[in-house]
């Protein structure tokens, strides 16, 4: 590999000749040989938006000339478009403020601008990575701003549409099977009837509530600390820079961000991210239940519950011929488990740091973005390859319903709890039907039993 030499405040450093990053990035690569994880591209591209907004604000305030502004905007647009992704080699596991990544961005933009302007890479001409690309900024305020921009964009543009589609499909299933009564189950034991449609509608309602909470939690992330610089005091900025920068961030993203009133709060602590991660964990808990209920309902095909049939996507066993497994539900379950684990890391990260700086910013954002991607990808796959193709096994559902002892619950208002329980016990012990037991005990005639026991009527209010 060919190299060139670039310098920073600590001296010269060898840098790969074909890369746009500079000395500080090269030092970071050498000093943080930790793990395989890199900074998520969502953060890198969010930084492109922030640097573009910052130069527009600085130009509007008369702090940077038009030529430099145009160069920076051109390079930032390339960064936002993902054309410079290969130039960000630093490990995720770096300083807790994200300083190395901020400087990686500054160096890549500066060197790309040098190339565009016909200058030598590393010359810091016509744009300097610190003096111009970091003007009115610090890693301490730009990194949490990038965190917020990345999470809000990813959630609104990617995750929420997927969850809305899942909700719509659950609603479709609820409508399709609204008149199909089946055995309900509590404690994994037979319970009173519910329709299969009501079962799916319960999932829809659960998801709907979580979606409302998820959307609400985003408003707290939209308060950006940009302009707070090192400790939230706005040192080395011109008054009003923060609002101008946010204005231009909104022009780029259309996400209605606001300048945080107390920027120190957004730099020293990340409670809003901890809260958001908690919502993702709640969503994961719902998805885990959905996955497990689908697995149970589809278990079989002959020796399980088998009330629903799921698509046959691939062979399920390397040794058992013809076996088909609920693989999409299992994948969803595992993704949900990882999201729960990620939330623990975010909680620890959110409580870390001292005084004016949280020092676990890369940890927090890595886990949150991974959770968003895991939920989105696994839900989309689950819906396309499992949920959409689910069909009810109506014969099996009817068979179970006819055998369900808990239909006797409808007799409580007629003959009382104790006599109804006696009917159920007799039917179970003698392996006879509830009707036969009721007649044998002389509590009801066969005609009276048929009048009061109708599974469909038991799925809604049934008292006059």
Tell me if residue 4 falls in helix, strand or coil.
strand
Residue 310 near residue 298 (C-beta atoms within 8 A) = yes
b (16+ CB within 10 A) / e for 104-125? bbbbbbbbbbbeeeebebbebe
- Binding-site positions for substrate: 97-99, 128-131, 138-140, 186, 318, 323-325
- Does 270 qualify as catalytic in the annotation? no
Distances (CA, A) of 220 to 77, 141, 242, 327: 27, 16, 17, 37
Residue 311 near residue 348 (C-beta atoms within 8 A) = no
Beta-bridge partner residues of 38: 91
- The tokens for 49 are 């938006």
Residue 91 near residue 163 (C-beta atoms within 8 A) = no
d(CA 127, CA 75): 11
- Dump the DSSP string for 341-365: HHHHHHHHHHT--BTTB-S-HHHHH
> Which H helix or E strand runs over 168?
helix 160-176
Q: Rounded to a whole number, what is the distance in angstroms from the first to the last CA of the chain?
A: 85
Beta-bridge partner residues of 357: 354
d(CA 125, CA 119): 7
Of 114, 120, 102, 22, the residue nearest 72 (C-alpha): 114
314 phi and psi, to 5 degrees? -160, 160
Of 169, 175, 162, the residue nearest 211 (C-alpha): 162
- The tokens for 95 are 């300083």
Catalytic residue, candidates 7, 123, 317, 351: 317
- The tokens for 13 are 């450093």
- The tokens for 61 are 């305030």
Catalytic residue, candidates 7, 87, 91, 187: 187
- Binding-site positions: 97-99, 128-131, 138-140, 186, 318, 323-325
Tell me if residue 53 falls in helix, strand or coil.
helix
Distances (CA, A) of 251 to 49, 50, 149, 247, 414: 10, 11, 13, 6, 67
Q: How many CB atoms lie within 10 A of CB 93?
A: 16
The DSSP output letter for 407 is G
Residues with catalytic function:
187, 317
């Amino acid at each position: 590999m060919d190299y060139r030499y670039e310098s920073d405040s600590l001296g010269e450093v060898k840098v790969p000749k074909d890369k746009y990053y500079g000395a500080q990035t090269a030092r970071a690569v050498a000093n943080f040989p930790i793990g395989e994880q890199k900074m998520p591209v969502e953060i890198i591209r969010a930084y492109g938006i922030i640097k573009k907004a910052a130069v527009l604000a600085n130009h509007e305030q008369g702090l940077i000339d038009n030529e430099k502004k145009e160069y920076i905007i051109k390079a930032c647009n390339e960064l936002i478009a993902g054309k410079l992704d290969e130039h960000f080699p630093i490990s995720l596991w770096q300083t807790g403020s994200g300083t190395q990544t901020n400087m990686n961005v500054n160096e890549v933009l500066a060197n790309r601008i040098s190339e565009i302007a016909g200058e030598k890479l590393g010359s810091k001409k016509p744009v300097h990575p610190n003096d111009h690309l970091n003007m009115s900024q610090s890693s301490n305020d730009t990194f949490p701003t990038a965190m917020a921009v990345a999470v809000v964009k990813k959630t609104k543009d990617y995750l929420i549409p997927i969850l809305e589609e899942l909700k719509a499909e659950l609603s479709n299933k609820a409508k399709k099977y609204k008149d199909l009564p089946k055995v309900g189950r509590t404690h994994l034991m037979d319970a009173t009837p519910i329709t299969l449609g009501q079962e799916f509608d319960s999932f829809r309602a659960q998801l709907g509530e979580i979606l409302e909470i998820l959307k609400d939690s985003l408003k707290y992330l939209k308060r950006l600390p940009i302009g707070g610089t090192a400790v939230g005091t706005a040192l080395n900025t011109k008054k009003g820079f923060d609002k101008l920068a946010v204005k231009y961030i909104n022009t780029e993203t259309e996400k209605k961000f606001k300048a945080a009133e107390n920027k120190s709060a957004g730099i020293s602590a990340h409670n809003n991210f901890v809260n958001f991660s908690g919502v993702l964990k709640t969503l994961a808990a719902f998805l885990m239940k959905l996955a497990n209920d689908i697995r149970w309902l589809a278990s079989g095909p002959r020796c399980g519950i088998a009330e629903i049939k799921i698509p046959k996507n691939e062979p399920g066993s390397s040794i058992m011929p013809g076996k088909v497994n609920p693989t999409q539900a299992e994948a969803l379950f595992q993704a949900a488990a990882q999201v729960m684990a990620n939330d623990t890391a975010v909680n620890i990260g959110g409580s870390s740091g001292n005084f004016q700086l949280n020092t676990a910013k890369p940890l927090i954002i890595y886990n949150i973005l991974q959770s968003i991607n895991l939920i989105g990808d696994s839900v989309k796959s689950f819906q396309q390859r499992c949920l959409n193709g689910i069909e009810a096994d109506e014969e099996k559902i009817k068979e179970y319903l006819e055998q369900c002892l808990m239909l006797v619950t409808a007799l409580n208002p007629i003959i009382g709890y104790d006599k109804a329980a006696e009917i159920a016990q007799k039917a179970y012990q003698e392996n006879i039907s509830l009707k036969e037991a009721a007649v044998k005990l002389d509590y009801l005639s066969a005609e009276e039993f048929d009048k009061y026991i109708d599974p469909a009527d038991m799925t809604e209010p049934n008292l006059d």
